[in-house]
């Protein structure tokens, strides 16, 4: 089985499907990326996808499609995309093991690239444990 860059919760999948259903007929899903900005240095981006980029990674859950920009992959490895509604806001949330800090308002984050050697060792260890 391949390694998924990101996972998503059922709430996130439901919201992605809602966005697609309420958009024009060409919408296929959303694209997640990272851009420089905010007081902590980086911000997550979520944009509607009408034409998928063949270089993007694709994750699917329960009919929801999320593409991941190639430039964001190392920063998003192991991330879970969720969706929450509170009294003050609703939106996608990202539980990211590569996040080192966030600004006080929660709009921007500081991210480090994923440690590929550590991830490979964890997968090898998990694979060895599963076959034992």
Q: What is the pLDDT of residues 43-69, one digit of tens each?
A: 889 999 999 999 999 999 999 999 999
Residue 118: what are its φ and ψ, rounded to 5°?
-65, -45
**Which of 34-38, 82-86, 124-128 is the least confident region?**
124-128
pLDDT for 132 = 46
pLDDT at 2 over 90: no
The answer for 41, left when phi > 0, alpha when psi is -120 to 50, beta otherwise, is left
- 102-121 tens-digit pLDDT: 665 556 566 666 766 676 67
More confident position, 102 or 90: 90
Architecture of domain 6-131: Sandwich (2.60)
More confident position, 77 or 112: 77
Residues 24 and 59: their CA atoms lie apart, in Å, by 21
**In the chain, pLDDT over 90 holds for what percent of residues?**
49
Cβ(49)–Cβ(31) below 8 Å: yes
pLDDT for 53 = 92
């Amino acid at each position: 089985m391949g390694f998924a860059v990101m996972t998503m919760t059922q709430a996130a999948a439901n919201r992605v499907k809602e966005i697609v259903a309420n958009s024009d007929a060409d919408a296929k899903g959303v694209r997640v990326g990272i851009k420089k900005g905010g007081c902590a240095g980086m911000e997550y981006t979520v944009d509607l996808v009408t034409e998928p980029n063949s270089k993007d990674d694709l994750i699917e859950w329960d009919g929801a499609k999320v593409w991941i920009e190639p430039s964001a992959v190392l920063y998003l490895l192991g991330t879970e995309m969720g969706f929450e509604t509170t009294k003050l806001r609703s939106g996608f949330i990202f539980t990211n093991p590569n996040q080192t800090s966030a600004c006080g308002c929660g709009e921007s984050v500081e991210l480090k690239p994923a440690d590929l050697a550590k991830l490979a060792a964890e997968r090898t260890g998990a694979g060895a444990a599963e076959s034992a």
